[in-house]
């Protein structure tokens, strides 16, 4: 029976008294959380000055920063063992603070270069009061961008400021929804809180920045609540349609996964009413057809699971990057394997399992049809996190409340998982932070370059397309800002030979229709090295050669950003 379908009959949780024979020490979790808070309070002050490392932020910030996460995980374990629900809620909130607040307080601007592509769309809507359909996929799925532009215009708060503070707020809302979803899917209070904690701490995949998929995940969590309530009788059909429609106009992939999951549940008679599918399917498919011209250049269906599972970083990264990648592969694999095992046990014990299996593992079916530009594998973990947390939480909570040995094992596993997740989240920190001066330079070059032009970065990563003006450039040439390294097929080059430079300059020379502005930053050097795109000396070598080449003019050089201009005589 669904736990939360009627208000007067609140699902009652049996009072947890903790393991037999133990006397609850109610102060222990609070003391641990106090220690974690103090550790974080000091650790966070070291983040901005932490030295650059290929192993990420955990390697060079104060060890107290990493300790604060581990202590919080241990504190949560103790909370569950002591059946101290209130302290468990605080521990969950504290985990969000120690893991997600650094993205706000230790940075000048929103992280990840691709965040700025989203901000550029918002800026365009604010500037033109319209969409630029046909320019890119974002204008075809404007849900989040329209709402952000609207909110920003009304409040006067810049979208970049809203995006900067987005990550912790996303986690607070998402984790709260996971708790309620877990309750609806039959978990008692403490296991449900454990599910919420796991969703908070295991989310290494960093899909929590200002993005359509982050909003879509919030909407999805709401839908999972309603789906859980609809297992025994139709509940909130109108709400499902409203939330699903909002997800549909916001994100390309999410509604199709939701449709797949709902379809599986309906076909297996685990969701009512059956006619919800004929309502939702036309919404998702109709909107895709409306935007078909935006996506017809992509492969809409590919059965090559191996290819679809590959990430969008094809190169072999630095040792640090590979270490981080190994950690998150172990973490993701363990979460999925443990989920499958728990579901298998539930099946063997004739306990309900199919609905949970759909929730937790159906995202993997995405890999049977789409690579999503090399991002499908990340979406799979993001989507499955909610379901996996709900499947695993009763087991974890049970272990935490069991014998001392099991408690020790569960706490150790939770701590190790937290560290692996944190390494996944913070491993690429130095490659992904976007210093304010780079954001300003990006806006300046978009505003002041002689249009038309190629605003080309020497290598990824750069806050490109950060203002409304990108649309003009994209209409001139959709590839106006492709990284030069990829355009010239020069991945791995040192630029220490005339041959490399010649190949590079030939690509520039093939652009007869506009000048090229070439951007160099220190960030690019790190990012390209971290992901194995270029060796560390490549960009300094290239920059030196460009300096010596009279065809290039340096037009900008400030705070680590250098821009050269290469004029062409238009034919």
Partner 1 sequence: MIVEHLWGEAVASRLALLAISGAAAGLLGAIPVLPGAVLVVLIGAFVLIGPGSLILTWFSDLSSDVLCALVPVVGIAVSILVVSGLLLFGVYAPLPILLAMASVTLVGGLIRRHRLAAPRDLAF
Residue 370 and residue 368: Cα distance in Å, rounded? 6
Candidates 71, 187, 219, 396: give the one binding partner 1 (CB under 8 A): 219
Nearer to partner 1, 10 or 297 (CB): 10
167 binds partner 1 (CB under 8 A): no
CA dihedral (316, 317, 319, 321) positive or negative = negative
Question: Chain centroid to CA 510: how far?
Answer: 37
CB of 153 to partner 1, least distance (A): 4
Candidates 108, 136, 153, 472: give the one binding partner 1 (CB under 8 A): 153
CB of 224 to partner 1, least distance (A): 10
15 binds partner 1 (CB under 8 A): no
12 binds partner 1 (CB under 8 A): no
Q: Closest Cα partner for 520 from 438, 447, 436? A: 438
236 binds partner 1 (CB under 8 A): yes
Residues binding partner 1: number (CB under 8 A): 51
146 binds partner 1 (CB under 8 A): yes
149 binds partner 1 (CB under 8 A): yes
Residue 55 and residue 318: Cα distance in Å, rounded? 9
Residue at token pair 């504290």: 94
210 binds partner 1 (CB under 8 A): no
Q: Which residues contact 92 (CB under 8 A, 6 or more apart)?
A: 76, 175, 193, 196, 197, 200
Is 358:350 a contact under the CB 8 Å cutoff?
A: no
Residue 245-264 contact track with partner 1, rule CB under 8 A, x = bound: xxx-xx--------------
Q: Closest Cα partner for 511 from 490, 484, 531, 538? A: 484
CB of 142 to partner 1, least distance (A): 5
Candidates 47, 177, 518, 563: give the one binding partner 1 (CB under 8 A): 177
Question: Chain centroid to CA 356: how far?
Answer: 23
Residue 519: strand pairing partners: 457, 563
Is 199:174 a contact under the CB 8 Å cutoff?
A: yes
129 binds partner 1 (CB under 8 A): yes
172 binds partner 1 (CB under 8 A): no
Q: Which stretch binds partner 1 (CB under 8 A): 123-131, 265-273, 470-478, 503-511?
A: 123-131
Nearer to partner 1, 235 or 521 (CB): 235
Residue 370 and residue 366: Cα distance in Å, rounded? 6
Query: Residue 77, CB half-sphere, CA atoms under 13 Å: how many?
Result: 27
Residue 430-459 contact track with partner 1, rule CB under 8 A, x = bound: ------------------------------
Q: Which stretch binds partner 1 (CB under 8 A): 74-82, 93-101, 145-153, 521-529?
A: 145-153
* 23-62 binders of partner 1 (CB under 8 A): none
Is 508:566 a contact under the CB 8 Å cutoff?
A: yes
Residue 239 and residue 235: Cα distance in Å, rounded? 9
CB of 549 to partner 1, least distance (A): 46
CB of 245 to partner 1, least distance (A): 6
104 binds partner 1 (CB under 8 A): no
424 dihedral zone (left: phi>0; alpha: psi -120 to 50; beta): alpha
Is 487:479 a contact under the CB 8 Å cutoff?
A: yes
Nearer to partner 1, 149 or 534 (CB): 149
CA dihedral (349, 16, 195, 11) positive or negative = positive
State the DSSP code for 111.
Answer: S
Q: What are the Cα distances from residue 19, in Å, to 22, 60, 309?
A: 6, 40, 43
242 binds partner 1 (CB under 8 A): yes
Nearer to partner 1, 144 or 459 (CB): 144
CB of 195 to partner 1, least distance (A): 14
Q: Which stretch binds partner 1 (CB under 8 A): 231-239, 408-416, 422-430, 445-453?
A: 231-239
Binding residues (CB under 8 A) for partner 1: these are: 4-8, 10-11, 125, 129-131, 142-147, 149-151, 153-157, 173, 176-177, 180-181, 183-184, 215, 218-219, 221-222, 225-226, 229, 235-236, 238-239, 242-243, 245-247, 249-250
């Amino acid at each position: 029976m669904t736990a939360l379908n009627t208000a007067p009959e609140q699902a009652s949780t049996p009072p947890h008294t903790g393991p037999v024979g133990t006397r609850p020490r109610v102060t222990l979790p609070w003391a641990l959380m106090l220690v974690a808070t103090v550790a974080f309070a000091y650790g966070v002050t070291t983040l901005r000055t932490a030295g650059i490392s290929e192993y990420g932020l955990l390697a060079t910030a104060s060890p107290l920063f990493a300790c604060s996460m581990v202590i919080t995980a241990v504190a949560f374990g103790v909370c569950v063992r002591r059946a101290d629900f209130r302290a468990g809620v605080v521990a969950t909130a504290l985990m969000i603070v120690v893991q997600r607040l650094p993205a706000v307080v230790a940075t000048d601007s929103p992280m990840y270069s691709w965040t700025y592509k989203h901000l550029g769309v918002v800026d365009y809507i604010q500037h033109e009061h319209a969409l630029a359909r046909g320019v890119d996929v974002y204008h075809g799925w404007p849900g989040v961008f329209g709402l952000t532009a609207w909110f920003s215009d009304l409040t006067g708060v810049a979208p970049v400021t809203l995006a900067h503070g987005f990550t912790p707020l996303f986690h607070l809302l998402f984790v709260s929804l996971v708790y309620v979803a877990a309750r609806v899917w039959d978990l008692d209070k403490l296991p449900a809180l454990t599910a919420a904690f796991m969703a908070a701490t295991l989310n290494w995949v960093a899909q929590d920045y200002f993005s359509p998929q982050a909003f879509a995940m919030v909407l999805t969590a709401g839908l999972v609540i309603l789906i859980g309530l609809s297992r025994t009788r139709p509940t909130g059909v109108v709400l499902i349609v409203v939330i699903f429609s909002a997800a549909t106009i916001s994100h390309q992939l999410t509604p199709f996964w939701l449709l797949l999951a709902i379809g599986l549940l309906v076909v297996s008679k685990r969701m009512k009413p059956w006619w919800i599918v004929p309502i939702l399917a036309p919404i998702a498919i109709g909107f895709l057809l409306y935007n078909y011209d935006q996506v017809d250049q992509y492969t809409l269906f590919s059965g090559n699971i191996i290819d679809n599972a590959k990430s969008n970083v094809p190169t072999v990264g630095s040792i640090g990057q590979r270490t981080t990648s190994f950690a998150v592969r172990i973490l993701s694999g363990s979460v999925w394997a443990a989920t499958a095992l728990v579901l298998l046990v539930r099946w063997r014990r004739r306990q309900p399992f199919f609905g949970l299996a759909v929730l937790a593992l159906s995202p993997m079916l995405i890999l049977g049809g789409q690579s999503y530009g090399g991002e499908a594998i990340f979406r799979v973990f993001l989507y499955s996190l909610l379901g996996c947390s709900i499947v695993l939480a009763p087991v974890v909570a049970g272990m935490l409340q069991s014998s001392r040995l099991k408690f020790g094992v569960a706490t150790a596993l939770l701590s190790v998982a937290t560290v692996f997740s944190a390494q996944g989240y913070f491993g690429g920190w130095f490659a992904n932070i976007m210093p304010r001066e780079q954001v300003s330079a990006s806006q300046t070059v978009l505003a002041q370059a002689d249009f038309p032009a190629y605003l080309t970065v020497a290598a990824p990563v750069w806050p490109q397309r950060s203002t409304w003006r990108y649309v003009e450039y994209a209409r001139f040439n959709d590839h106006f800002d492709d990284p030069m390294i990829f355009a010239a097929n020069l991945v791995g080059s040192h630029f220490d030979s005339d041959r490399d430079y010649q190949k590079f300059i030939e690509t520039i020379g093939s652009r007869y229709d506009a000048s090229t502005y070439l951007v160099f930053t220190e960030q690019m050097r790190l990012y390209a090295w971290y992901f194995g795109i270029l060796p560390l000396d490549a960009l300094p070598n290239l920059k030196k050669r460009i300096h010596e080449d009279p065809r290039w003019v340096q037009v900008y050089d400030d705070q680590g950003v250098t821009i050269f201009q290469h004029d062409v005589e238009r034919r």
